[in-house]
Amino acid sequence: MLGQYAHFVLAAYGVTILLVGGLVGLSIWRSAKVRAALQKVERQNGKT
């Protein structure tokens, strides 16, 4: 199917999936961290 370049193509797909997955995970982790910090500041300022 992919011929002699199969391992290069599959490796590129694998690296891409890992990088995109890492970026999504980092974004979710950072979002939770920032949301917690915002809630803390809002509690201190009596916003909620």
Name the residue with higher pLDDT: 46 or 27.
27
Query: How many angstroms separate the CA atoms of 30 and 24, rounded?
Result: 10
**Residue 9 CA: distances (Å) to CA of 3, 14, 19, 39, 48:** 10, 9, 15, 45, 52
**pLDDT number for residue 48:** 60
pTM score: 0.72
Give the residue carrying structure tokens 């199969």.
Answer: 6
pLDDT tens-digit readout, 12-41? 999 999 999 999 999 999 999 999 999 999
Model pLDDT, residue 26 = 98
